Amino acid sequence: MDLSHLDKKYFIDAHKYNCPFCKRNHVTYSMVDHFAFNWGDKKICHGYLIRCNSDGCEKVSMHLSFKELREGYVEYSQQRYYSRFAENTDIDKFLFFSQPTSYFVLDNRIPEKVRELIYEAENSRRSNFLVGASACLRKAIYELLEYEKAIVKNSKTGHADYQESIKSLKTKFPAVAPELFDALGQIQEMVSDNVHEGSWDAWDSPKLTTLIELTKATLHEMYVVPAERKDRLGVLSQLKSVFSSSKNGKDEEEQIETKPE
């Protein structure tokens, strides 16, 4: 049975989740606090503070929902709640905002401005603010192009030519699959033409989620994978030096032992 889809969730069940801080999957957590406030005249928003139980982490994330998700019980004719989520509940389904926004936290090696805009896009998408999410996603791509000095301007209009800019960006990262950059170009086109002209059918929340995750995956390939590869090569180089030193030392010992008196 393939259960890999659980690795993409925030909360797996009422006891385990994928921690966005220590990046450990299927670890236990504790609900350290709950709060509620009036979102409007007739709507209550519930907040949950969740702490990772993994040794060395113990960081706290915040999650908002318009539904009471805690396990309840009745005492002296009054409804009360335990400090834990109810069993057999798809917790992720009822959350509209989390901080960090995803169990997959963007790596610090990704440019800060780009990271912040991606987070804003995720938050807007969770609140179903589709225009805001699309605008943040578009701005994130523009900031990426600007950061990499890959912006190409149209000679006639003087405005940025996004398709050509994406192609310019592609040439700077030859190790990254070109299909990812082609997808970035497609995102830019859809944000510009569809959402802001009212083509809402193409920009429902699930599709926005896919586009945001695609952008995050591209950024990961651009900035994180090369750095990790460099770190691994550094470790291999150190190991090579250690083995080389060990071999030289052994050769010297053999020479001393075989030296005639």
With a CB cutoff of 8 Å and minimum separation 6, the contacts of 79 are 72, 73
DSSP string, 237-259: HHHHHHHHHHHHHHHHHHHHHH-
pLDDT band at residue 68 using 50, 70 and 90 as cut-offs? very high
- Half-sphere exposure of residue 239: CA atoms within 13 angstroms, side-chain side: 6
pLDDT band with cut points at 50, 70 and 90 for residue 211: confident
Q: Name residue 37's beta-bridge partners.
A: 45
The CB density around residue 181, as the number of other CB atoms within 10 Å, is 21
Q: In whole angstroms, give the CA distance from residue 54 to residue 24.
A: 8
pTM (2 d.p.) = 0.60
pLDDT at 48: 98
* Domain chopping of the chain, boundaries: 1-105, 107-253
Between the CA atoms of 248, 254, 257 and 258, what dihedral angle is there, to the nearest 10 degrees?
Answer: -120
Is the pLDDT assigned to residue 145 strictly greater than 60? yes
Q: Give Dmax (Cα) for the chain.
A: 99
pLDDT of residue 104: 60
Question: How many C-beta atoms surround the C-beta of residue 98 within 10 A?
Answer: 22
Residues found in the chain:
261
Give the per-residue pLDDT at 191: 45
Q: Are 189 and 162 in contact (CB under 8 A)?
A: yes
pLDDT at 259: 56
Residue 193: predicted pLDDT: 46
